[in-house]
Amino acid sequence: MEDREKYTLDDLLFLMERLRDPESGCPWDRKQDFASIAPSTIEEAYEVAEAIETADFEHLREELGDLLFQVVFYAQLGREQGRFDFSRIVDSLAAKLLRRHPHVFPGGSLYADSPGNSVDQSTVRQNWESIKAAERDARGQGGALDGVATGLPALTRAGKLQKRAARVGFDWPDLDRVLDKVEEELSELRQAVAAGDCEHAREELGDLLFSCVNAARHLQAEPEGLLRGCNRKFERRFRAMEDTASRGGRRLSDLSADQLEALWVQAKAGEK
C-alpha cells in the first residue's frame, strides 16, 4: 500500500470539480450531462451486484468507488445548474432514513436513544411500506402502482408491480396456483405457435415471463438474480463443452446436434 494519507470525500468532491472546470478540466468530463452518464450508472450498479454474487470483495471495493463517483458526478452537475449539491443529497437521504426508521430514531431524531429491538422484522417492513405509501400520496402518487420506475430492468419492474398489487389483495394465494398459471400461459403460447400467429405468440411469451416472475416472488427470490445465476451456469457448462471438444481436436461448430447434446449432458454431470 502507498505510504500516503488516504484521500477523503472532500478530496473526491474537489477532484470532480476540477474535472468539470471549463478552462482546465477534462474534455470528456466537461461534455457530459445527466442523460449521458445515466447508462454508466446502471452499468456500475450491475458490476457491484456481480462482485457481490461472486464474493470478489477486493473488486467490490473498486466497483463501489466507481458507483460513488456516479453520485459525485451528478452532484457536481446539480451544483453547476443551481439545483442541488452533494450536501443536499446527503441531507435528503438522512432525513428520509430517519423518517422511515421510527423504531430506531424516535421522533425522527438522529441522536435520540433507540428503544432497542422491540419491533419484529415483519412490523418493520409493514411500517416501512406505510411510510413510503404516505410519501407517494404526498407527491400525488395515490395509485397502488404509482412510483414504480419505468427505467428498471423489466424482470425487476414486473416483480415490483406484482408486490404492489399483492398489497391490496390482488395475488394468487399460494405457489401452486402461480405454477398453474405458468402452465396455462405456456399452453397458450404453444397454441399461438401452432397457429402460426407470431405476434400473438410474442404476447403470450411475455405473459409467460410475467408469470415466471410471479413464481420467483412466491419463492421469495429476485428474478434478475435468478437469471444472472442461470446465465453463469450456462456459460460454465458451455465453456466445459468447448474444452472437451478442443481436447479432442474438434470445434463445437463441427459437431452434430446429438454430439452437442452429449457434451452438454457430460458438462452437467461433471458439476455433480
Q: What pLDDT, on a 0 to 100 scale, did the predictor assign at position 116?
A: 66
263, 244 contact by CB (below 8 A): yes
Angle of CA points 21, 26, 68, to nearest 5°:
85
Taking only the tens of pLDDT, the chain with its 272 residues reads: 567 889 999 999 999 999 999 999 999 999 999 999 999 999 999 999 889 988 999 999 999 999 999 999 999 999 999 999 999 999 999 999 998 888 888 878 888 777 666 667 777 777 777 777 777 777 877 788 988 888 888 999 999 999 999 989 999 999 999 999 999 999 999 999 999 999 999 999 999 999 999 999 999 999 988 998 899 999 999 999 999 999 999 999 999 999 999 999 999 999 87
Query: How many whole angstroms separate alpha carbon 59 and alpha carbon 87?
Result: 28
Looking at the chain, the domain(s) classified CATH 1.10.287.1080 span 9-107, 154-221
Q: What pLDDT, on a 0 to 100 scale, did the predictor assign at position 73?
A: 98
Q: Indicate the CATH number for domain 154-221.
A: 1.10.287.1080
Angle of CA points 226, 123, 97, to nearest 5°:
80
Query: How many whole angstroms separate alpha carbon 186 and alpha carbon 209?
Result: 10
Q: What pLDDT, on a 0 to 100 scale, did the predictor assign at position 159?
A: 95
- In SS3 terms, the chain reads as CCCCCCCCHHHHHHHHHHHCCCCCCCHHHHHCCHHHHHHHHHHHHHHHHHHHHCCCHHHHHHHHHHHHHHHHHHHHHHHHCCCCCHHHHHHHHHHHHHHHCCCCCHHHCCCCCCCCCCCCHHHHHHHHHHHHHHHHHHCCCCCCCCCCCCCCCHHHHHHHHHHHHHHCCCCCCCHHHHHHHHHHHHHHHHHHHHCCCHHHHHHHHHHHHHHHHHHHHHCCCCHHHHHHHHHHHHHHHHHHHHHHHHHCCCCHHHCCHHHHHHHHHHHHHHCC
**Fold for domain 9-107?**
Helix Hairpins (1.10.287)
Please name the amino acid found at residue 79: R
Query: How many whole angstroms separate alpha carbon 129 and alpha carbon 102?
Result: 13
Q: What pLDDT, on a 0 to 100 scale, did the predictor assign at position 118?
A: 67
Give me Rg for the CA atoms of the chain.
25
